[in-house]
Amino acid sequence: MTESRPAGAELVDERPAHGGSVLEVRDLVKHYPVRSGLLRRSAGAVKAVDGVSLTLDRGRTLGLVGESGSGKSTLARVLVGVETPTSGQVLVDGEDVTGRSRAGRKQLRRDVQMVFQDPYTSLNPRMSVSEIVGEPFAIHRIDPAGGRRAAVGELLELVGLDPDHANRYPHQFSGGQRQRVGIARALALRPKILVCDEPVSALDVSVQGQVINLLEDLQEELGLSYLFVAHDLGVVRHIAHDVAVMYLGRIVEQGPEADVYGAARHPYTQALLSAVPVPDPSVRLVAPTVVEPSPVEPPLVEPVDPSLVEPVETRIQTGEKRPGIGGIVLEGDPPSPVDPPSGCPFHTRCWLAPTLPEARGEAAASSTKGSETESAGPVVPDRGLRLVPSVCETEVPALVTRGAAPDHVAACHFARELAAPGAGA
């Protein structure tokens, strides 16, 4: 543990590469038990992460998007070792790190580090910047060549801060500068992977771009791999090479950025994309039921330049569809992760399923047959008129190749590219 590592700009990872992937997650599950009653018996579990597999290649960025409560942050916390997974494996450079001893986990922490969402709570207000950035050295008892002071100065310079400000306290910095301090702290141990948990969503729009650019420069300079958790699809599109979409603790669609954004297959992804604010509402994806004749024949979502997409928090609109806007609107809130819906977890809110001929066919069948099919019938209890194909309710869709690229996968029984107005499907 006393091995000395130089810190700073000339940090290039000389460790041998293990194939292409630096991080591999296999069937990761994180359940939080819900206890109740006098004896505090386990009465179920919050299934925050429910069987997630993903791969992060060296020097690449994987964007992880999804609504609040979809389990993105829990997944990030498991990956940096703050939470222990209920089951599943996390492989860093091909080595399983979940079953390791305390000392082994400490080594993992040198390889995987985290950048936090809120720069105002992620820095200890009672420690100076040099103490904060130098703490990783103190924890791991590393004495970098040239001393910790010099190493801290180099790290600050690396993230674009003045090393002379090392004696200042966090409250003397702006939000963007604090985020840079947080990045410097994460880089101190020369990690291979940075898990960024919504690193720019708490920042001003003008500062977001600077921090994103810094992350991109650092990736190029240090050969880092990023797992970039965000709910901002515009930012993810800008920085990520690959994109994974999470819903209720599972990945519902995953693939190269261009494929997922250009030709989303999962209805949830399509709904998310349609909610991205675009400068021109007429190029927005629309649901097939609300086809809006557009005079200019715009292509798919393709022409939206990432730099034009305002990095504003993406929300799924709830409530009524507003006429003339035509985005896909999901109704209601995500179901409780304590008791997720059977079959496809998305079927209770899916906009596609009720429009399918399969749903109508079964509805017609059940109405003629009467009471005998009612118990197993496709009628969703909370919405009397909502009919979905029974396969959506009973079978969990597998994550299988659905797109043009072989690594573009989606978990939907009826995955299909969405027809946009004026463009063929």
Partner 1 sequence: MSEAASAATGNVAGAASRTLASDAWRSLRRRPDVIISGLIITFFVVMAAFPTLFTSVSPRHCVIGDAKIKPQGFGNEFPLGTDSFGCDTLAQLAHGSRPSLLLALVVVGTALVIGVTLGLLAGYYLGWVDFVVSRTVEVFLVIPYLLAAMLLLSLFKNVDLGSGTFTTIMLPAIVLTLFGWMGYARYVRASVLEAKNLDYVTAARALGASDLRIMFRHVLPNAIGPVTALVPTAIAGVIGAEAVLAFLGIGVRPPAISWGIMIENGSSWVLGGYPHMLLVPLAALLATVLSLVVLGDALRDALDPRLSA
Which residue among 13, 57, 95, 118 contacts partner 1 (CB under 8 A)?
Answer: 118
Residue 123 touches partner 1, criterion: CB under 8 A: yes
Query: Which is closer to partner 1, CB of 135 or CB of 292?
Result: 135
Minimum distance between the CB of residue 231 and partner 1, rounded to whole angstroms?
Answer: 17
In the complex, the smallest distance separating the C-beta of residue 375 from partner 1, rounded to whole angstroms, is: 44
Question: Cα-Cα-Cα-Cα dihedral of 175, 7, 166, 147, to 10°?
Answer: 160
- Which among 228, 242, 269, 235 is positioned nearest to 79, based on CA atoms? 228
The smaller minimum CB distance to partner 1, of residues 166 and 275, is found at: 166
Can you list the pairs that 368-375 forms with residues at least 24 positions away whose Cβ atoms lie under 8 Å?
A: none
Among 116, 226, 247, 268, binds partner 1 (CB under 8 A): 116
Give how many residues touch partner 1 by CB under 8 A: 44
Tell whether residue 397 is a contact of partner 1 (CB under 8 A). Answer: no
| Site stretch for partner 1 (CB under 8 A), options 172-180, 250-258, 276-284, 399-407 | 172-180
Q: Is there a contact between 326 and 284 (Cβ–Cβ < 8 Å)?
A: yes
Question: Judged by CB, which is closer to partner 1: 204, or 313?
Answer: 204
Alpha helices in 112-244 (DSSP H): 129-140, 147-158, 175-187, 205-222, 233-239
Should residue 161 be labelled a site residue for partner 1 when binding is judged by CB under 8 A?
A: yes
109 binds partner 1 per the rule CB under 8 A:
yes
16 CA to centre of own chain: 28
Cβ–Cβ under 8 Å, residues 200 and 165: no
**β 193-197/225-230 pair status:** parallel
- Which of 106, 241, 321, 416: binder of partner 1 (CB under 8 A)? 106
Q: Do 159 and 214 touch, CB atoms closer than 8 A?
A: yes
**CB 61 to partner 1: min, Å:** 19
- Nearest-angstrom CA–CA distance, 348 and 386: 9
- Helix and strand counts by DSSP (H, E) for the chain: 11, 12
Closest contact distance (angstroms) between CB of 147 and partner 1 is 15
x-or-dash string of contact with partner 1, 174-213, rule CB under 8 A: x-xx----x--x---x--------------x-xx--x---
Beta strands in 332-376 (DSSP E): none
**110 touches partner 1 (CB under 8 A):** yes
Nearest residue (CB) to partner 1, 124 versus 342: 124
By beta-carbon proximity to partner 1, the closer residue of 182 and 335 is 182
Please identify, using beta-carbon distances, which residue of 136 and 335 lies nearer to partner 1. 136
* By the rule CB under 8 A, 407 interacts with partner 1: no
Cβ neighbour number for residue 327 with a 10 Å cutoff: 22
Q: Out of 127, 379, 396, 423, name the contact with partner 1 by CB under 8 A.
A: 127
Subset of 54-83 contacting partner 1 (CB under 8 A):
77, 80-82
Do the beta carbons of residue 106 and residue 282 sit within 8 Å?
no
Dihedral angle computed from the Cα positions of residues 151, 155, 160 and 161, in that order, rounded to the nearest 10 degrees? -60
Q: How many other CB atoms sit within 10 Å of the CB of residue 140? A: 17
Does 328 help bind partner 1 (rule: CB under 8 A)? no
Site membership for partner 1, residue 121 (CB under 8 A): yes
> Do 293 and 420 contact (CB within 8 A), yes or no?
no
Instruction: Give the binding site for partner 1 (CB under 8 A).
Output: 77, 80-82, 105-106, 109-110, 113-114, 116-118, 121-128, 135-136, 139-140, 161-162, 164-165, 167-169, 171-172, 174, 176-177, 182, 185, 189, 204, 206-207, 210
